[in-house]
C-alpha cells in the first residue's frame, strides 16, 4: 500500500459496518476498522496500516525500521507564536505541521496543498526561538509526533498531534480541492477535521 493510498483512505466518507473489513493490516492481513493504528517509515515517511497487536510490536522510540504512531492529541492552549514569528517560518498558508526527523537530524516543516504535503525550508534558528518560548515542543517524539498549527481560525490553535493526523489533513485537502481556492466543501471538511480534533484532544 502506497502513502497516497493511505491518504486517500483518510479522505473517504465514514465506512458502514459492511465495509469495515475492506481495509487490512499490512503486516498480518487481519481486517481493520475505519480508524486504526499506523506505523511510519522514518526514511520514506510512508504510513503502514496496522492492527493493535502488530502496532504493539514496534516502538515509538528507538532504531526499528518502522515506528508506532501514538494515538493521543494534546491541545497547546498557551502556545506563544506572534505573526512576525510565523512569517519568519516561510509558510505560505495558515496550516502547517512540524516534526523532528531522525533521518535528517532536524525539524521538518510541511504544509498541506492540492499536490499533497509540501516541504518548506524551515529556518532552524527561528524554530529554536519558538521552542525557547514553548518548552512543550522541545521533546517532540521524532518521526511520529508533530506540532500542528491552525492559524486559519481566530484565535489560532496549536496541537501536539500524531503524524498520521497531520497526513489525514493533507489527504482531505488533496482529495477535495476544487478551483483556485479549494471550494466551500473542502473548507467545511477542514473545519470539521479541527472540530473533531479539538473534541478528542486532551489539555
CA distance linking residue 172 with residue 4, whole number of Å:
12
Please identify every stretch of the chain with a pLDDT value under 70, giving residue numbers as ranges: 1-21, 60-64
The pLDDT of residue 63: 65
Write down the pLDDT at residue 20. Answer: 44
Distances (CA, A) of 118 to 71, 100, 148, 192: 24, 16, 14, 22
| Global pTM exceeds 0.75 | yes
Q: What is the pLDDT of residue 14?
A: 44
Outline where DSSP puts E strands in 7-144.
37-40, 47-50, 67-68, 74-75, 95-101, 106-113, 116-120
| pLDDT at residue 201 in the model | 93
Domain boundaries, the chain: 74-200
Amino acid at each position: 500500500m502506497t502513502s497516497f493510498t493511505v491518504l486517500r483512505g483518510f479522505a473517504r466518507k465514514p465506512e458502514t459496518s459492511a465495509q469495515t473489513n475492506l481495509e487490512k493490516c499490512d503486516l498480518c492481513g487481519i481486517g481493520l476498522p475505519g480508524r486504526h493504528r499506523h506505523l511510519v517509515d522514518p526514511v520514506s515517511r510512508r504510513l503502514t496500516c496496522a492492527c493493535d497487536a502488530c502496532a504493539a510490536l514496534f516502538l515509538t522510540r528507538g532504531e526499528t525500521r518502522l515506528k508506532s504512531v501514538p494515538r493521543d492529541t494534546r491541545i497547546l492552549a498557551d502556545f506563544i507564536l506572534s505573526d512576525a514569528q510565523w512569517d519568519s517560518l516561510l509558510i505560505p498558508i495558515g496550516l502547517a505541521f512540524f516534526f523532528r526527523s531522525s533521518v535528517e537530524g532536524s525539524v521538518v516543516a510541511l504544509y498541506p496543498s492540492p499536490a499533497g504535503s509540501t516541504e518548506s525550508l524551515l529556518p532552524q534558528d527561528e524554530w529554536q526561538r519558538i521552542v525557547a518560548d514553548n518548552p512543550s515542543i522541545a521533546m517532540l517524539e521524532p518521526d511520529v509526533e508533530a506540532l500542528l498549527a491552525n492559524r486559519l481560525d481566530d484565535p489560532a490553535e496549536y496541537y501536539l498531534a500524531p503524524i498520521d493526523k497531520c497526513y489525514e489533513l493533507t489527504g482531505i485537502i488533496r482529495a477535495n480541492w476544487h478551483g483556485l481556492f479549494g471550494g466551500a466543501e473542502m473548507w467545511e471538511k477542514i473545519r470539521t477535521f479541527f472540530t473533531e480534533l479539538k473534541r478528542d484532544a486532551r489539555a
